[in-house]
């Protein structure tokens, strides 16, 4: 009887141990799998960003980028940028000092609970599950001694605005317009950039690394406002791209 009871106890402990290992092990494997899915999407979007730069900066007529949709969805998000130049003394009232809110229409890949990756005006940004947003590929902005050049890339959807499932999707990019929104040559001007986006904290981190002073923000902020002082010349260009999901 004692031997049977001992066997039952030992067997119960083994089953409990195996169950615990299975439960925790499956969770760990799922986390690793989800992280790798976001990594793969990030790499694909870096290729997409480079292809877009071929069109927006290097004069290519069009580019196509293939992305593997492994149980994910490709669509568009929302983000606006406003660039303002403040001068001392103040300029006359008829001089354009602001671009106004420029809509970017970021291209977004949503990977369910694993996270999200998006392209916005030259930048690639990501989230991992419930983690804070991060910028993993910087935009083609220039901030230097000779002044600042900000190229805002706006994606305009053509045709369907959402695709998903298990398939290879293709994004076709063609330039449809280009305009200079703001150009100023001043002494001791302050350049202000306001970003309204769910990825605003990542933009704030990037602008801080470029020497901007930003108003306080948190990982949950949806707006950031950042200033760069003593800028001698500012040029802001908007490039409009027609994007098609194939």
* Domain chopping of the chain, boundaries: 10-245
User: What's the rounded Cα separation, in Å, for the pair 127 and 135?
Assistant: 9
Question: How far, in Å, CA of 192 to CA of 116, rounded?
Answer: 28
Whole-number Å distance between alpha carbons of 102 and 195: 10
Cα torsion angle, 88, 94, 95, 100, sign: positive
Q: Is the pLDDT of residue 131 over 50?
A: yes
C-alpha–C-alpha distance, residues 237 and 183, integer Å: 9
Secondary structure of residue 172 in the 3-state scheme: strand
Lowest mean pLDDT, pick from 62-66, 67-71, 204-208 = 67-71
pLDDT grade for 168, boundaries at 50, 70 and 90:
very high
Start-to-end CA span in the chain (Å) = 71
pLDDT of residue 92: 58
pTM (2 d.p.): 0.84
- The string of pLDDT tens digits covering residues 200-228 is 999 999 999 999 999 999 999 999 999 99
Q: How confident is the model at residue 88 (pLDDT cuts 50, 70, 90)?
A: low
Say yes or no to pLDDT of 25 above 60: no
Per the DSSP assignment, residues forming a β-bridge with 108 are 75, 118
Distance CA 26, CA 23 (A): 5
pLDDT at residue number 80: 96
pLDDT at 39 over 50: yes
Residues 100-123, mean pLDDT to the nearest whole number: 94
């Amino acid at each position: 009887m004692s031997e049977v009871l001992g066997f039952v106890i030992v067997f119960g402990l083994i089953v409990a141990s195996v169950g615990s290992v299975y439960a925790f092990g499956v969770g760990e494997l799922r986390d690793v799998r989800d992280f790798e899915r976001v990594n793969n999407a990030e790499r694909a979007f870096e290729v997409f960003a480079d292809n877009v730069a071929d069109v927006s900066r290097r004069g290519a007529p069009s580019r196509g980028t293939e992305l593997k949709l492994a149980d994910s969805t490709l669509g568009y998000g929302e983000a606006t940028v406003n660039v303002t130049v403040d001068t001392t003394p103040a300029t006359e009232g008829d001089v354009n000092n602001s671009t106004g809110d420029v809509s970017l229409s970021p291209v977004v890949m949503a990977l369910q609970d694993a996270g999200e990756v998006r392209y916005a005006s030259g930048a690639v940004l990501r989230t991992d599950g419930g983690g804070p947003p991060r910028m993993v590929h910087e935009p083609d902005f220039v901030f230097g001694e000779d002044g600042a050049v900000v190229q805002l890339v706006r994606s305009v959807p053509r045709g369907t605005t959402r695709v998903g499932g298990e398939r290879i999707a293709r994004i076709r990019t063609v330039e449809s317009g280009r305009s200079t929104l703001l150009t100023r040559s001043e002494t001791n001007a302050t350049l202000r950039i306001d970003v309204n986006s769910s990825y605003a904290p990542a933009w704030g981190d990037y602008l801080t690394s470029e020497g901007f002073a930003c108003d306080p923000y948190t990982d949950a902020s949806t707006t950031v406002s950042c200033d760069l002082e003593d800028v001698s010349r500012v040029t802001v260009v908007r490039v409009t791209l027609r994007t098609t999901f194939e």
